[in-house]
Amino acid sequence: MKRARLLVLASTVSMLGWGAVLPYQYAYAANTRGWGGLVAAAAASLFSVGALAAAPVGGWLTDRFEPARVAVVATVVSAGAVAFLIVAETPALFLARMFVFGAGFTAAPPARTVPALAGVGSGAR
């Protein structure tokens, strides 16, 4: 039971961090890169659309493949998209990578919850 609580706490802290980071992504696209507010808002929206599209796919993949592998691949895809945000030469590339970032970021959590649920008895759920 302690392990499950620790996982929930770690996930909560992680989500708090995202609430602090995403506004800086807007400032980066709008001001630092000089692409303006429209591109920055579209980037945040495409992150959300990618996340919305990937959530059911992440669950489907978790049901059919090893959950740890799905979580790692989705996290690597997300990290790769973030790494390539820095070298995006055009707003279109930046927007596409924000979509992939959102998709990878959201496809991993269903796979990460499987080990947590396996460690908790059905009576405690």
Q: Mean pLDDT over residues 5-13, rounded?
A: 74
39-49: b (≥16 Cβ within 10 Å) or e: bbebbbebbee
Angle, alpha carbons 97-103-76 (nearest 5°): 75
Backbone angles phi, psi at 98, to 5 degrees: -65, -35
Residues 16, 121, 67: CA angle, nearest 5 degrees: 60
- pLDDT tens digits along 62-71: 899 998 899 8
Residues 61, 112: contact at Cβ < 8 Å?
no
pTM (2 d.p.): 0.81
Instruction: Count CB neighbours of 121 within 10 A.
Output: 10
Domain spans of the chain, in order of start: 2-120
For 48, half-sphere exposure in the C-beta direction (CA atoms, 13 angstrom radius) is 7
Task: Look at residue 26 and tell me whether its pLDDT is greater than 70.
Answer: yes
* Distance separating alpha carbons of residues 111 and 92, to the nearest angstrom: 30
